Amino acid sequence: MAATISKQIIHGIYDDEVPLLEACKKLKSAGIKIKDVFTPFPIHGIDPIIGVPRTRLAICAFIYGLTGLGLATLMMWYMMVSDWPTDVGGKPNWAYYFNIPAFIPISFESTVFCAGHGMALTYLLRCMLVPGARAKNPDPRTTNDKFMIYLELNDEQAHKAEALLREAGASEINHKGTITEKLPY
């Protein structure tokens, strides 16, 4: 039988983002891992405190954009140069570079199209945001005006965390039972 550990689920609820940030700092310096934070709007400066790494979505967008540029170039080269070099107004397309200014607008549009849609899709899938998915916030009030720190801790840490949450001005501290986690060994 695999070794298991039982962890308490704690919801620390705040009425404002300032005490929430304070609590996050306190928990961090006490060495307590914050599982997640649920807020009604983005809180600037919270990411480094709770250990959220910088997202790489912009890099994805860049790669998708290059793909779009490549696809558009390939398409226009094939259709206008390779497959059927149309002679428009005495200006045949014998090579791609002959007519490159005319190809710039579509190259640009295709870059934006692929970068934008690729990034949006990656964002939705990375966050598991799909039509009809179950609400990810444990407390429905966090999309209105409540700010929540979500913790999963063992009994000893839970005790310490609760005191810190209260000290920072939590309006509520809710215990939502325990979960059993398998240990990696």
Partner 1 sequence: MHSESQIREPLILGHKTYAQITDDIIRPVEGKANKYWYILFTIACLTFLWGLGCLSYTVGVGIGVWGSNNGVDWAWDITNFVWWIGIGHAGTLISAVLLLFRQKWRLGINRSAEAMTIFAVMCAAIFVLFHTGRVWLDYMLFPLPNQFGSLWPNFNSPLLWDVFAVSTYFTISCVFWYIGLIPDFGTIRDRAINPMVKKAYNLLAFGWGGSARHWSRFEEVSLVLAGLSTPLVFSVHSIVSFDFATSILPGWHTTIFPPYFVSGAVFSGFAMVLTLMLIVRKVYNLQAYITVKHVEYMNIVIIVTGSIVGVAYLTELFISWYGGVEFEQYAFLNRATGPYWWAYAAMMTCNVVSPQLFWFKKIRTSLVATFILSIVVNIGMWFERFVIIVPTLCRTFLPSTWNMYHPTFVDIGIFTGTIGMFFTFFLLFSRFFPVIAQAELKTILKISGESQKKEVAEHAHEPAPTHAH
CB neighbours of 130 closer than 8 A, spacing ≥ 6?
124
Among 31, 90, 132, 177, binds partner 1 (CB under 8 A): 132
Our measurement of the distance from residue 142's CA atom to the centroid of its chain's CA atoms, rounded to an integer in Å, reads: 18
Q: Which is nearer to partner 1, 30 or 129 (CB)?
A: 129
Report how far apart, in Å, the C-alpha atoms of 159 and of each of 79, 153, 184 are. 69, 9, 24
Q: What are phi and psi of 67, to 5 degrees?
A: -60, -45
Q: What distance in Å separates the CA atoms of residue 90 and residue 160, rounded to the nearest whole number? A: 81
Per-position b or e across 127-140, b if 16+ CB within 10 A of its CB: eeeeeeeeeeeebe
Using CA atoms, how far apart are residues 106 and 80, in angstroms rounded to an integer?
13
Select from 25-33, 77-85, 153-161, 170-178 the region that touches partner 1 (CB under 8 A): 77-85
**Binding flag, residue 97, partner 1 (CB under 8 A):** no
Q: Does residue 165 touch partner 1 according to CB under 8 A?
A: no
Nearest approach, Cβ of residue 170 and partner 1 (Å): 17
Q: Considering only the stretches 2-10, 138-146, 156-164, 176-184, report the one whose residues sit in contact with partner 1 under the rule CB under 8 A.
A: 138-146
| 74 is a contact residue toward partner 1 (CB under 8 A) | no
* Binding interface with partner 1 (CB under 8 A): 18, 36-44, 46-47, 50, 52, 54-55, 57-58, 61, 65, 75-76, 79-80, 83-84, 86, 88, 91, 93, 99, 102-103, 105-106, 108-110, 112-113, 115-117, 119-120, 123-124, 126-138, 140-145
